Structure 1
Amino acid sequence: MSDRVQKIVAELPELGDVTGVWRTADRCLAEGDNVFLADLGLALAAAGRSDGGRSWQYSSVLDHVLRSLAVTPGPGNVAQALRLISSADGAGAAAREFSRYAASLLASGQPAEDLSVVFTGKAPEELRACLVHELVLRGVDVERVPGIAGWATSPHWRHHPLGTLPLTLSELEGASDLLSYSARGSSHPMPYGPSRDRRAKVAAAAHAPSAEDTTTPAAAGLIGAAVADWVEKSNGRVEARVFGLAAPLEAVSVPGALPALGLECLRGAGRKTAVTVAACPPDQAWRVLFAAASTGGAYHHGARGAYGRLAAWRSLAGLCGAAGTDPVEEVEARVRECAWYDFEAGTPWFERVAWDIGLVTVCSERRRLAVLAATDTD
């Protein structure tokens, strides 16, 4: 550890504002001294482990250093970021989450060709797996990028959870909203929420067939995969249900059918609290589910792009009646056979802040209806 790095690390816990250290890191990177940034990051990571995470200053500057190296194109920046990322390699949940984050940063800021070092040098396998699909989501043909293609097409990682995802985007995925990063922060769109992008309401008919709740724990878990973090790591609620219908359900009857299903999210709906239902193209459903999974709810950053992609496909599978193990191509075919709707209601169940989702599918034979409702608040 150089004297300069040692001095910064020693003085950090006494600082109430670390933006001056950020500026020092920024100047060094602008001058091409990415080795100094990586050395500082490694020292900060070690200090944070010794400190037991008590000093927020270590994690704040470490995050800035990682972001700066990962999102700034330039000679050697990826290699130095990789030094820092590889130091956190391990089998625990924290190490896996760090790799997901790092992969999202790298894919958002670096040319694909510069990322080949991740696949040819020393790097965590989780980082490589996530980076492949972060690049796929950004339209990169990973099977044609030297250094990446060999690893991405190798059968050795097919046992990995992400190994079941295709290396090209489907038509549904063309509307994916991706996180955007800079050294100072990140941003992302939220394609859901109260009265967001509403379409023409479907007219309600007087009659809807009777329905039987056929939800199983497995089906509920599959349908809710994209919003699992909203409950587990934030303040969210999720309702995932499946119903068998006594007769085929016509499109005009969907608004009338929903309030009769006994959904918790629609408890209290009536004349004064209407349920608004609108036709929803499948690619919009994908967009909502992917954003929910990849960016998370009010108090969690989500699964990032790669695992967000996996979770979105799992939710789509559950909603259209496919199995979670079915290939994406088969799931997409079933998705397109279903009729899709989104809905909202001003009931007490929905927080109506920013994180509200209501999706309904009616399968091709019109005898199965599935619902995913989710809400979260800060």
Structure 2
Amino acid sequence: MRTSGGDAFRRHPGERFGPAELKQLAESRPEELYAAAEQLCRRVAGEELDGSSAARTVGRIAEALADTRSPDCVRFAVDIVGRLLPLGPAHRLEGDRLRRSVAAKLVNVQQLRDLEPLFGELPNGVQDPAVEVRACVLGELALIGTGRGRPVLDAYAERLRELGHPLARLPRTRLDIEHRFGVRVRGLGSIKTPDQLRSRFPEIPPTDSGAAAGCTAGETPDSRRARVAAEPFTVSGWAREPEARFFMLPSPLAPDDFNISLIKELSLDCLAGEGTRRGGAVTCRTTPDDVVNELFAAAYNGGVSGRAQGGAYARLYAWNSLYALMGLPADIPFLGAVRRAADHRWLRFMAFTDWFHHDTSDVAFAVLDPTRTRVAVLAATDGGTE
């Protein structure tokens, strides 16, 4: 006797179907999977079921549908994450994650002609989850360089800009500086040793004059700027709170003095106790595209807690962080920010302290502005805290 997906969930609401079974149901009977998700959400609203468990099950259904190519699966997946998911505060983070995950799967799997019908009705506001999932789809399309020039999509994107949706300020096409976003290069994983750092980037030697200049630096606290700079790591669940700090020098720094000698003199938690562990601190010169790619990857891949943000929001967090590191106002156009980034000096540094762990991911950058009087530092670690 044939058992429908809806019947299975009705008899065992907490049952966790395996990926293969969900995939088979999505391919053969997507309407029954949708009905099962609708039933679960209705029962959560009536408080018959544990909301967290049911939301996870419904999310797996939506992702299976999004990952199965067909117009029906597109429609069902978007309706689940855009309308059916519980809206209470307890489910907000999971709802955000699912909308971003489903949007990414839709763009990776579905045909553009099957996505276009989602955008036929222009939104009146940006708080609706149905609008949010569509904004994420547009953001994911931008990352693969498609969708622009299609009237329906262009009209929806313009409407989102008018309404002030945060994703709508991003370019509709990938910029050259973003060429490494989402690209994995074999053999180029996390940098864990000084030798790995030196093999990829040119080392900058220490100088006594750099240390002397560092002793004259004064910190210029800015909590909002620090929060935005650190956001790619905080939103994605990196193991430790990142450190973002800003400093002012009384006179322009000689270019060769922007090195580890200067950085070690700054008031940085990540360098406390430097020299007490085996291994020396090192700085290497890098480029803005390397920095923005690391920021994107941190949010896109997620930290040890697994809070991957999806491509659209990872891109937003990366750009916001880059603007914060350079101290740029948000109204500077992106290509203007790229031009300004070329006038800054960018360093990676590494140190052996109790703050860093060298077991999973450690990232540390320093940025010198064009006046050579302002230094920004951002450090993050995804290793276990002690």
TM interval, short-chain normalised: 0.7 to 0.9
Asked whether the 8 Å contact 2:232–2:317 carries over to 1, the reply is yes
Q: 1:288 aligns with which of 280, 294, 313?
A: 294
335-344 vs 250-259, greater mean Cα deviation:
250-259
Q: 1:239 aligns with which of 232, 240, 243?
A: 243
2:45 pairs with 1:41 = no
1:189–1:199 Cα change, 3 Å:
closer
Deviation at 1:312, TM superposition (A): 0.8
Residues 267-306 of structure 1: pairs in structure 2 closer than 5 A: 267-270=272-275, 272-306=278-312
252-261 vs 221-230, greater mean Cα deviation:
221-230
1:164–1:158 Cα change, 3 Å:
farther
Q: 1:87 aligns with which of 83, 89, 98?
A: 83
Paired amino acid for 1:303: Q
1:164–1:134 Cα change, 3 Å:
same
Show the counterpart of 1:27. 24
1:36–1:316 Cα change, 3 Å:
same
Deviation at 1:24, TM superposition (A): 3.5
Alpha-carbon distance in structure 2 between the residues aligned to 1:52 and 1:370: 49
Runs of at least 5 residues in structure 1 that lack an aligned partner in the other structure: 180-187
Paired amino acid for 2:111: P
Secondary structure in 2 matching 1:370: strand
Secondary structure in 2 matching 1:290: helix
TM normalised by structure 2 equals: 0.83
Asked whether the 8 Å contact 1:192–1:288 carries over to 2, the reply is no
Q: 2:158 aligns with which of 130, 148, 153?
A: 153
What per-residue deviation string (whole Å, max 9, x for no partner) do you get for residues 74-115 of structure 1?
Answer: 342212222322333658634444322322221222232321
Secondary structure in 2 matching 1:341: strand
Deviation at 1:12, TM superposition (A): 2.9
Asked whether the 8 Å contact 2:219–2:247 carries over to 1, the reply is yes
Secondary structure in 2 matching 1:151: helix
Alpha-carbon distance in structure 2 between the residues aligned to 1:189 and 1:117: 41
Alpha-carbon distance in structure 2 between the residues aligned to 1:280 and 1:289: 14
Alpha-carbon distance in structure 2 between the residues aligned to 1:262 and 1:362: 16
Alpha-carbon distance in structure 2 between the residues aligned to 1:84 and 1:352: 41
Q: 2:135 aligns with which of 126, 129, 132?
A: 129
Show the counterpart of 1:370. 376
Alpha-carbon distance in structure 1 between the residues aligned to 2:88 and 2:168: 18
Deviation at 1:220, TM superposition (A): 1.3
Deviation at 1:244, TM superposition (A): 1.1
Show the counterpart of 1:53. 50
1:292–1:215 Cα change, 3 Å:
same
TM normalised by structure 1 equals: 0.84
Secondary structure in 2 matching 1:261: coil
Paired amino acid for 2:107: A
Show the counterpart of 1:143. 148
Residues 182-221 of structure 1: pairs in structure 2 closer than 5 A: 192-195=190-193, 198-208=200-210, 209=213, 210-221=216-227
Secondary structure in 2 matching 1:329: helix
Secondary structure in 1 matching 2:265: helix
Paired amino acid for 1:277: T
What per-residue deviation string (whole Å, max 9, x for no partner) do you get for residues 16-57 of structure 1?
Answer: x642xx4443323333x322222222223334553553674x
Q: Percent identity?
A: 25
